[in-house]
Amino acid sequence: MSDRYLNLVNSPVGSAVAARVGLPQPSVLRRYEAGAPILPGPVLLGSTSPKPAAGLRKAVEATGAEVLDLAGEGVKVAAAVLDARSVSAPGDLARLREFLQPATKALAANGRVLVLGTPADGADITADATRQALDGIVRSLAKELRRGATANLLWVQDEASLPAALRFFLSGRSAYVDGQPVLLGAGTAPAPADWTQPLAGKTALVTGAARGIGAAIAGVLARDGAKVICADLTQAGEALAKVANRVGGTALHLDVAAPEASATLLEHLAAQTAGLDVLVHNAGITRDKLMANMKPEQWDSVIAVNLQSQLSINAALLDSDQLNQQARVVCLSSTTGLSGNRGQTNYGATKSGVIGLVRASAAAFAAHGDSTINAVAPGFIDTEMTAKMPFATREVARRLSSLQQAGLPVDVAEGVAWLASPGAGGVNGQVLRVCGQNLVGA
Ligand SMILES: NC(=O)c1ccc[n+]([C@@H]2O[C@H](COP(=O)([O-])OP(=O)(O)OC[C@H]3O[C@@H](n4cnc5c(N)ncnc54)[C@H](O)[C@@H]3O)[C@@H](O)[C@H]2O)c1
């Protein structure tokens, strides 16, 4: 469903009218295109430390972007990266203002602000309080930036996952990720032979792949080199076959909530693959009702499909010999699981439950040959589900994020693909919002 308002305010007349009467002016977001450079312009690189870290400069240069140390007069930068890992007392925060004030002015449309911080470690109250301040700076700045620009924060405990994280956050792959902190911890995070094919040689399985976000995830994982098994209900047969054909993968009829789901899955993996590298728990349903009117079957079906299935399949896989080392599991949550939503107590339960699931399972997956499990929480995404909303509700919902527009299924898929990649090995047990920084709730 195309966003006619967005198209209108990006026309010369529409843009002038919107500016004059103070209406939201969402920009057309820069999204990933195969073969295009990661950044369309230079990166301004700064540090709060007098001795900037050489490793970061090298990692930024490796993206192919030109690195600038000073914002020149009239020069527009595609990104501003600030290494703020050295801050340890409130006075140090002035260094962020000194860098970000001119950097924000120099930022081109669809620019990226990326701040690196040291995560709190409990050793020093003043240092931890100061480090945590970065979160408020980045989230607030994300709300100020316009013209498709975003601001995100990397808590760097270990640099192994930095190259893959930079490629995600600086490129169009993170178009709809805004105001998001991510912890880069320890973990095996090998660089791929070819950064455009990070999933080459990997086998991935996506549930609920016949349409919407699942179909987009299957497409992006295949684009990144994976062999994709597209799984969905038997009823989705024809649509599922089309997606599987389009992505050069295979189709599997699998009702994730059926009692035999795990056995079916394991049998299929044993017969058809050399083990699973990437699992995306995307299948999900809504049965919205106010709690006062909620029927048992509306409650039970949502819990069974959205939460219990993920728990059961994960347990069966970890117990089997079908999950490869350094596997990546990505679970679809929702911003409803972070902020709640009227009429969605059942759905909210499952989407919060998924966040609990990834946090609680991280250690078990790490113990399985340095595997990871993370959640992606989409906000308002244009799909068949949201196309059914009344016009006015949809129009309002679309504007309620810092980017003033809905995301596309491909935006969620790009977030999933980053977490599914070998280079994201230090990201475990976390939640990546793909919500354009929803202004309500999270
Ligand atoms: N669309 C959004 O704005 C949005 C926002 C937040 C989270 N999400 C989450 O993203 C995921 C995908 O959402 P979508 O909008 O693409 O939904 P969708 O309804 O368009 O597609 C869901 C797919 O899952 C399949 N499915 C349903 N029950 C299944 C089962 N028991 N076994 C196997 N497959 C099953 C359906 O057949 C369908 O193909 C869901 O988990 C959803 O909760 C979506």
Which atom of ligand 1 is nearest to 258's Cα?
Answer: 31
Q: At residue 229, what are phi and psi to the nearest 5 degrees?
A: -95, 120
Q: What is the pLDDT of residue 17?
A: 66
The answer, yes or no, to whether any atom of ligand 1 lies below 6 A from the CB of 380, is yes
Q: Which residues contact 68 (CB under 8 A, 6 or more apart)?
A: 42, 43, 44, 45, 75, 77
Asked if residue 315 and residue 429 are part of one domain, the reply reads yes
Q: Cα(211) to centroid of ligand 1, in Å?
A: 8
Asked if residue 126 and residue 272 are part of one domain, the reply reads no
Coil, strand or helix at 85: coil
The answer, yes or no, to whether any atom of ligand 1 lies below 6 A from the CB of 305, is yes
CA–CA distance, 350 with 232 (Å, rounded to integer): 19
The answer, yes or no, to whether any atom of ligand 1 lies below 6 A from the CB of 442, is no
Q: What is the pLDDT of residue 158?
A: 97
Q: Cα(387) to centroid of ligand 1, in Å?
A: 14
Asked if residue 174 and residue 226 are part of one domain, the reply reads no
Asked if residue 217 and residue 83 are part of one domain, the reply reads no
The answer, yes or no, to whether any atom of ligand 1 lies below 6 A from the CB of 211, is yes
Q: Atom 29 (ligand 1): residue with closest C-alpha?
A: 283
Q: Which residues contact 211 (CB under 8 A, 6 or more apart)?
A: 236, 239, 243, 383, 384
Q: Cα(243) to centroid of ligand 1, in Å?
A: 15
Best residue among 177, 232, 433 to mutate for probing ligand 1's pocket (most ligand atoms within 8 Å of CB) is 232
Which atom of ligand 1 is nearest to 351's Cα?
Answer: 43
Asked if residue 282 and residue 378 are part of one domain, the reply reads yes
Residue with tokens 């929480």: 377
Is position 10 within any domain? no
Last residue of a domain, one of 184, 213, 228: 184
Catalytic residues: 347
Q: Cα(415) to centroid of ligand 1, in Å?
A: 16
Which atom of ligand 1 is nearest to 211's Cα?
Answer: 39
Last residue of a domain, one of 154, 184, 214: 184
Asked if residue 348 and residue 261 are part of one domain, the reply reads yes
The answer, yes or no, to whether any atom of ligand 1 lies below 6 A from the CB of 282, is yes
Is position 327 within any domain? yes
Is position 422 within any domain? yes
Is position 16 within any domain? no
Instruction: Output the six-digit token pair for 286.
Output: 């809504």
The answer, yes or no, to whether any atom of ligand 1 lies below 6 A from the CB of 337, is no
Asked if residue 240 and residue 180 are part of one domain, the reply reads no
Best residue among 235, 252, 265, 285 to mutate for probing ligand 1's pocket (most ligand atoms within 8 Å of CB) is 285
Instruction: Output the six-digit token pair for 362.
Output: 């991280």
Which atom of ligand 1 is nearest to 304's Cα?
Answer: 31
The answer, yes or no, to whether any atom of ligand 1 lies below 6 A from the CB of 230, is no
Is position 5 within any domain? no
- The total of other beta-carbon atoms located within 10 Å of residue 132's CB is 14
Is position 12 within any domain? no
Q: At residue 62, what are phi and psi to the nearest 5 degrees?
A: -65, -15
Domain count of the fold of the chain: 2
Asked if residue 297 and residue 230 are part of one domain, the reply reads yes
CA–CA distance, 81 with 115 (Å, rounded to integer): 6
Q: Cα(262) to centroid of ligand 1, in Å?
A: 19
Instruction: Output the six-digit token pair for 83.
Output: 């290494």
Best residue among 220, 233, 240, 306 to mutate for probing ligand 1's pocket (most ligand atoms within 8 Å of CB) is 233
Asked if residue 160 and residue 44 are part of one domain, the reply reads yes
Asked if residue 274 and residue 317 are part of one domain, the reply reads yes
Whichever domain contains 173, its CATH number is 3.40.50.720
The answer, yes or no, to whether any atom of ligand 1 lies below 6 A from the CB of 256, is yes
Asked if residue 234 and residue 166 are part of one domain, the reply reads no
Is position 193 within any domain? no
Q: What is the pLDDT of residue 394?
A: 85
Q: What is the pLDDT along the chain (442 residues), one digit of tens a residue?
A: 677 778 777 877 767 766 776 777 888 999 999 889 999 999 999 999 988 788 999 999 999 999 999 888 899 999 999 999 999 999 999 999 999 999 999 999 999 999 999 999 999 999 999 999 999 999 999 999 999 999 999 999 999 999 999 999 999 999 999 999 999 999 999 999 999 999 999 999 999 999 999 999 999 999 999 999 999 999 999 999 999 999 999 999 999 999 999 999 999 999 999 999 999 999 999 999 999 999 999 999 999 999 999 999 999 999 999 999 999 999 999 999 999 999 999 999 999 999 999 999 999 999 999 999 999 999 999 988 778 778 888 888 889 999 999 999 999 999 999 999 999 999 999 999 999 999 765 4
Asked if residue 208 and residue 177 are part of one domain, the reply reads no
The answer, yes or no, to whether any atom of ligand 1 lies below 6 A from the CB of 332, is yes
The answer, yes or no, to whether any atom of ligand 1 lies below 6 A from the CB of 316, is no
Q: Cα(239) to centroid of ligand 1, in Å?
A: 14
Last residue of a domain, one of 153, 184, 215: 184
Coil, strand or helix at 156: strand
CA–CA distance, 195 with 64 (Å, rounded to integer): 12
CA 240 to chain CA centroid, Å, is: 24
Which atom of ligand 1 is nearest to 257's Cα?
Answer: 31
Is position 84 within any domain? yes
Domain region containing 119:
24-184
